[in-house]
Amino acid sequence: MPSAVEFTHEFIEFAIHRDVLKFGEFTLKSGRKSPYFFNAGLFQDGESLARLGQFYAQALQASAVSYDVLFGPPYKGIPLVSAAAIGLSTHYQRNVPYAYSRKEEKQHGEGGQLVGAEITGRVMIVDDVITAGTAIRGAIDLIQEQGGQVAGVVVAIDRQEKGSGQRSAIEEVEQEFQVPVISIVKFADIIEYLSAQSSKDQIERMLAYRRTYGVS
């Protein structure tokens, strides 16, 4: 198994190669001008999803958090939870059931909002990033309504930046629901990677962004 640094660097290189992680100037939904952008929707072929699932599985294994079911919020969480379940089975021989939800309740066929395994026991939520925390809060409410207990959340990237207050959205979720949020990489990991790879100007833009929006 690679070291923690090797693991994060492998994921960053993978994301850059797939154009999922880009550097430049990007306007976020919040209006902030960010020197980087992460778009998990560009993991859009079978090879990419298989590799991504391996990274999620490895992050879950390293966390040592116990869980019985994986859950993906709509819509990006659906392929991500599927990939994570396959990664756990393929690389760690763990056959973990998974489920996901629709945004709207289905009124025909089998009906309902949930698809897949029964929501029972300890449930791990799988998503790409927590920005405002709205989708995660919705997922937590749904899991609790079904009688499940939220074991934690695993995301691809922790932006480590302030939300509307002084805490990050991830810190707010951890403190509000008393659950761990696991990430494959953090913003600090990207800076560390760039320090050996990129121009001084790019690193300075990242550091300036952290000085303005980063959490302490």
Of these residues, 33, 91, 106, 186, which one is catalytic?
Answer: 106
Q: Tell me the C-alpha distance between 157 and 186, whole Å.
A: 6
> In this structure, what DSSP letter does residue 111 have?
-
> In this structure, what DSSP letter does residue 126 have?
E
Of these residues, 29, 108, 186, 200, which one is catalytic?
Answer: 108
Q: Tell me the C-alpha distance between 92 and 101, whole Å.
A: 26
Q: Tell me the C-alpha distance between 151 and 122, whole Å.
A: 5
**Catalytic site residue 106?**
yes
- Pairing verdict, β 122-126 and 149-158: parallel
Secondary structure element (H or E) that encloses residue 169, with its range: helix 169-177
Q: Tell me the C-alpha distance between 74 and 97, whole Å.
A: 17
Q: Tell me the C-alpha distance between 184 and 55, whole Å.
A: 7
Whether the CB-CB separation of 161 and 206 falls below 8 Å is answered with no
> SS3 of 67, please?
coil
Whether the CB-CB separation of 12 and 196 falls below 8 Å is answered with no
Token pair, residue 120, equals: 């029972």
Phi and psi angles of residue 70, each rounded to the nearest 5 degrees, phi first: -100, 145
**Catalytic site residue 22?**
no
Catalytic residues: 106, 108
